[in-house]
Structure 1
Amino acid sequence: MMETRSENPHVLSEHTLQLILSNAQFHSDLQETLRDLQVVPSQLEEHKRYMVDLERSLKNVKKSVAQCAETTKREREEHRDLNDSTMRRLAYKMVKKEVNWEMKKETENRKYIEALEKEMIERQNQQVLETSIDEAKRLESELREKKERIGLIQGEIEDLYEKVFNGARREFPRDQQLRQQLADAKSTHDSIQARLKSNSTALPLLSQASGKIQDSWRRTAHDEYHGLFTNGRGERQKKLNKAAKRASEFEQLLRKARLACSEIGSVPQLPIRDMYKTGKYFDAPLSAAFKGVDTDVDLARYRKEITHVKNLVQSEIHYTTERIRIAETDLAEASEVLTSCKTELQEFRRATFESIVANPNASSVMDETHESQAIPLSTIDETRNRSHDSLPLYTATRPLSETEILPPYNSLMDR
């Protein structure tokens, strides 16, 4: 359990002391309102689960109502047909089965009534659930407003503490230690968060780049240029040009990934321009021979270089994925530390503020001209009544009348 300590004894400037005392009620009202609202976040989460259950129940009831309505419609039609069918009734009479007719009629009437009653019950259930959901939405809105109010109150408390403690750094050395601790925690948290964001942005770009280099690699296979369907004029050139285009698209995506995350390593440049040049010689063997171009040798070289880059990209995807996993774990820990530091600073300030308000006479007023002296507050009134010549070496920074006093505060509970 975190121990909350306050500065004791308090050696304060007159300005700081007056600032605290003049805002005592303001601070008390804020803290009281905050205590009243502290259960709201958990209530809101529980209420959200309740809303999900209600919505699920309503969905099931609506489905049941639709089924019941279909059954009722069918039974109503059979009921109406039976009552209106004079010919069927005469037919039963002719074969001397009038009793069977009445039994059948009664059975159909009962089935229709039962179906109608079941439908009405389900419709009532639907109405009850819809009313409950409307009420639950209203309550959820109230809880959300209260949760937002918590944030506003915490902001007001933080603003007050900043005015008091930020302007009295020498008077509260422990506060400065906690502030630095919080700043370090926030810096660490932000750094990890930035690393997670950059790697998370780069990973899908790397995946797309991997697909492009994979396609380029496939299009440089030897069989693609010496199979059964490679005799068409310009066909092999088109294939190699396509491989070069995919390699170019790969480099563009990799460039974007590296801009997003500086931790991604570089890869050798692909022979894209050479691939375009080689493609021109597939259908010009004499020209290739004259210039000493061997397309098979070139293809083998391109494939080797693309294979190397393809493997490097796969490694980068693995490393980036691992960095994301580590950053997610580190960020969760850093968030806990940051929250703990915020809480410790806030609790220290609250305890210090309330301690001074509860017993202001236990504090000392600092002689800001001679900082080594501290005069107990309880002796100030007495010394001020003495003659000027007998006063001790004490001078306030400013007259009390010029001391900054914050305006009175109306509690948020009264708004």
Structure 2
Amino acid sequence: MASTTERIQTSAERNRLLLSILSETDYALPALQQHESYLGDLERQRKDATKWVEGVDKMRKKELKEHKKYRDSVMKRFAYKVSGNKDKFEEKAAKEEREYFDVLQEEHKAKEQVQSLEALYEEAMAYKTELHGIMSRHSSAQHDLDTLYDAIFDGPTPEFPEEDSMERAAKEALQAYHDTKVRVEVELEVIKTLSAVVRHLDEALYHIEDALDHSRMDMFGGGTISDMMERNALHKAELSTQEAQRLMKQAQRQSKRQVTRMLPVHIAHGSILSDVVFDNIFTDMAFHDKIKASRAEVQRCRLDADCQLADARSRYQQLDQAVQEKAQGLETARSELQHTRELIFGQATAAASGSDQRGTTSP
């Protein structure tokens, strides 16, 4: 089985070619980022210029209408002539004509600007496509280089302990990045779930307010219809709170109990006995107070859910920052590992070249 040094020497030319491609194409990513910003600015200018053309076109149509009105108005010309103000008519007509041609000139300028911007945009899009091609070439070369290095250096290489040290550091950095990334994704799901909890509690509050409106009508003689509408609204409020409770439990599981259980909430229920048999102003007022108590409980739950959502967002922001730091650490570790491997390649091929030269000059 070939040694690591022998595999390096066999792959030396391939390594040199791939490093050359990476060096030639390194500029593509920063160039593409800068170019995207330029494209965005061009797009804004195109929209502004298009609005300018549309505005000038409306003005041109208006001025054309005024111009034609004076140019073709026989009666106006006759009226001015009879009154001895023929010169005034000609002056007014000439003014309308000048204004019309001024607008025509502005429209021409606006359209020329749009055409110029369109040409620049097409040219910029073509260059973007070219940069994407260079980026693809760079990514392909990097992938091939990683594959080459992994085939040679993956696992223990006793001849090159410094490479083993760098390889362990890169693997640890990758694991740290993955672990933090998973936690970020989990926290994002918790935020989505808690947002749904808040939304359902808002729905419950909406239905409770609806129930209170019907309860007020019931106290002032709303009758059976008000009772039915009141009970229906409370039923909807209860369904919403039950769904909020289910989602809160889900958020607890997702967050590994960092989210606490939802505060207890009880939605008041009406009954046929109180609504029909013993229905009077006093029972209606008592039940109205029960509905208000339910509202207060849901409001407390809503406030608590809001606080827990804020906590989850804070945890997410901290983890997201940590992910960026881990990603930077991973990139640094990989870069150092690749640099170490490049140095080993250079040393091994230089040693082989020196050995070849000594063998050639030996008597």
TM over 0.5: yes
1:356 aligned onto 2:356: no
**Where does the alignment leave 5 or more consecutive residues of structure 1 unmatched?**
1-12, 287-294, 363-375, 386-415
TM-score, normalising length: structure 1: 0.69
The residue correspondences of 1:37-48 to structure 2 (distance < 5 A) are: 37-48=25-36
Among 261, 275, 282, which residue is 1:267 paired with? 261
RMSD across aligned C-alpha pairs, in angstroms?
4.0
TM-superposed deviation, 1:77: 2.8
Q: Which residue of 2 aligns with 1:179?
A: 167
Matched to 1:351, the amino acid is L
**Is 1:149 matched with 2:141?**
no
Question: Which residue does 2:333 correspond to in 1?
Answer: 341
Indicate if the aligned counterparts of 2:248 and 2:262 stay in contact, CA closer than 8 A.
no
C-alpha deviations, 1:53-79, integer Å up to 9, x for none? 111111111111122222222232333
| Residues 319, 105 of structure 1: alpha-carbon distance in 2 compared, 3 angstrom cutoff | closer
Corresponding residue for residue 116 of structure 1: 104
More displaced, 259-268 or 328-337? 259-268
Give the letter aligned to residue 240 of structure 2: R
Distance change (3 Å), C-alpha of 1:262 and 1:54: same
Amino acid at match of 1:337: G
Q: How does 1:81-96 map to 2 (within 5 A)?
A: 81-96=69-84
1:255 has 2:249 as partner: yes
Compared with structure 1, are the counterparts of its residues 275 and 378 closer, same or farther at alpha carbon in structure 2 (3 Å cutoff)?
Answer: farther
Please give the TM-score of this superposition, normalised by the length of structure 2: 0.78
Distance 1:167 1:65 in 2: 66
CA deviation string 1:191-247 (max 9, x = no partner): 1111111111112322332454577689899x9699773685665765665554334
Q: Which amino acid aligns with 2:56?
A: C
Q: Which amino acid counterpart does residue 60 of structure 2 have in structure 1?
A: T
In structure 2, relative to structure 1, the CA distance for the partners of 1:285 and 1:104 (3 Å cut) is closer
The Cα of 1:122 is off from its aligned counterpart by 1.3
- Note the 1:402-413 alignment, pairs <5 A: none
- 2:320 is equivalent to residue 331 of structure 1: no
The answer to whether the 8 A contact 2:67-2:100 is kept is yes
> 1:3 matched to which residue of 2?
none
1:96-116 C-alpha deviation (Å, 9 max, x unpaired) = 333333333333332222221
What CA distance in whole angstroms lies between the structure 2 residues aligned with 1:61 and 1:216?
A: 49
Q: Residues 265 and 113 (structure 1 numbering): CA distance in 2 closer, same or farther, change over 3 Å?
A: closer
2 CA distance for matches of 1:20 and 1:379? 20
Letter aligned with residue 340 of structure 1: T
Rounded Cα–Cα distance in structure 1 between residues aligned with 2:92 and 2:234: 82
Q: Is the 8 A contact 2:70 2:93 kept in 1?
A: yes
* Whole-Å separation in 2 of the counterparts to 1:249 and 1:202: 16
**Structure 1 CA distance for aligned equivalents of residues 37 and 197 of structure 2:** 42
Q: What does the per-residue CA deviation read over 1:346-381, in whole Å, with 9 as the maximum and x for residues that have no partner?
A: 11111211222233267xxxxxxxxxxxxx888999
**What's the secondary structure of 1:169's corresponding residue?**
coil
> 2:57, 2:296 → 1: CA distance?
70
Q: Cα gap change, 1:299/1:119 in structure 2, threshold over 3 Å: closer, same or farther?
A: closer
Tell me which of the two structures has the higher relative contact order, counting C-alpha pairs closer than 8 angstroms and 6 or more residues apart: 1
Shift of 1:146: 1.2
Judged with a 3 Å threshold, the aligned counterparts in structure 2 of structure 1 residues 112 and 336 are, in CA distance, closer, same or farther, namely: same
- When structure 1 is superposed on structure 2, of 155-164 and 180-189 the one drifting more is 180-189
Asked if the contact 1:165/1:172 (under 8 Å) is kept, the reply is no
Distance 1:83 1:139 in 2: 51
Question: Which letter does structure 1 place at the counterpart of 2:168?
Answer: Q
Determine helix, strand or coil for the equivalent of 1:170.
coil
The structural deviation recorded for 1:190 is 1.3
Per-residue deviation, residues 135-183 of structure 1 (Å, max 9, x unmatched) = 1111111112211221111101101111111266222222221121111
Matching residue's letter, 1:89? R
Deviations, residues 8-49 of structure 1 (Å, cap 9, x unaligned): xxxxx8543332223222211111111111111111111111
Q: Aligned residue for 1:229?
A: 218
Gaps of 5+ in 2: 279-286
From the two aligned structures, give the one with the greater helix fraction. Answer: 2
AA aligned opposite 1:177? S
Identical aligned pairs, as a percentage?
A: 21
Structure whose alpha-carbon radius of gyration is higher: 1
Look up the match of 2:10.
Answer: 22
